[in-house]
Structure 1
Amino acid sequence: MPLLTILDENASGSILHRLELEINQEMLTVRELIARRVHDEAAAYNERQSGVFQGLVQPTESEKVLNGYRLRPQKLIDAEQQVYRALEAFQRNGFFVLVNDRQVDSLDEEVWLGSGATASFLKLTPLVGG
């Protein structure tokens, strides 16, 4: 099965997190791409149930730490709730998505994710102060 490389980057281009996602189709909508990524992150965390959760969006009842989010011990992540939060964040410009170095603007836009494809998620940091 082909692997899609997913990079989390900040505005200066530094890579914060890298993961690979198995995909079985070359064309997906941005909505499906985000949902697949978030489901994969939640499943991986729920299997090990320890450490820091490094996901696209912050789960409810979690604390932001240096390299992710810390949840209370033995708390599972609700994947569907995380997908909802991620889709909402995309629509509010909480992060941008670039697929093969091209920014996508709509959740319903179809993107090519064949061999060698990359998806970058640029997380935006809110400004502090006035």
Structure 2
Amino acid sequence: MPLLTILDETASGSILRRLEMEIAQETLTVRELITQRVHEEVTAYNEQQSGNFQGLVQPTESERTLNGFHLRPHRLIDAEKQVYRALEAFQQNSFFVLVNERQAESLDEQVWLGDGATASFVKLTPLVGG
């Protein structure tokens, strides 16, 4: 299976997190890419429940921390709710996705994710007061 490198970045280019994800197909839509990524993050968190969730979007009933989002102990995250929040965040320009250094424009856009591909999720920070 192809191995995709995923980077979480700031708008200034700082890398916040790097992970690798196996994908079954070399071509996916942006919607499928986001969905697969979020499902893997939620599954990993729910299996270990470390308290800090390092994911693409903030879960409901969590607090933002320096290293992710803090949830109360023994609190499972609903994967489908997280997927919905992530897809909505993409559509509201809370983050954008660069696949092989090319910006994805829509959730239905097909992207190539074969061996050596990278997907950068660039999180945008709202401006204070505006």
Give TM-score, length-normalised by structure 2.
0.98
Q: Which residue of 2 aligns with 1:76?
A: 76
The equivalences for 1:5-84 within 5 A come to: 5-84=5-84
Measured in 2, the distance between the counterparts of 1:38 and 1:55 equals: 7
Alignment pair present for 1:108 and 2:70: no
Deviation at residue 129 of structure 1 after TM alignment = 2.2
- Within 1, Cα distance between the matches of 2:3 and 2:47? 21
Q: Identity of paired residues, percent? A: 79
2:128 corresponds to: 128
| One-letter amino acid matched to 1:88 | E
Measured on the aligned residues, the alpha-carbon RMSD in Å equals: 0.7
**1:25 offset after TM fit, Å?**
0.7
Residue 53 of structure 2: SS of its match in structure 1?
coil
CA contact (8 A) 2:96 2:103 kept: yes
Query: What CA distance in whole angstroms lies between the structure 1 residues aligned with 2:51 and 2:74?
Result: 11
Query: In structure 2, what is the equivalent of residue 98 of structure 1?
Result: 98
The letter of the residue matching 1:18 is R
CA contact (8 A) 2:49 2:73 kept: yes
1:88 aligns with 2:84: no
Segments ≥4 residues shifted beyond 6 Å: none
Structure 2: which amino acid aligns with 1:68?
Answer: G
**Structure 2 unaligned regions, length at least 5:** none
Aligned length: 130
Letter in 1 for 2:47: E
Q: 5+ unaligned residues in a row in structure 1: which ranges?
A: none
User: Quick one: which amino acid aligns to residue 17 of structure 1?
Assistant: R
Deviation at 1:51, TM superposition (A): 3.2
Per-residue deviation at 1:67?
1.4
Q: How many angstroms apart in 2 are the aligned matches of 1:48 and 1:2?
A: 26
> Whole-Å Cα distance in 2 between the matches of residues 54 and 21 of structure 1?
15
Partner of 2:4: 4
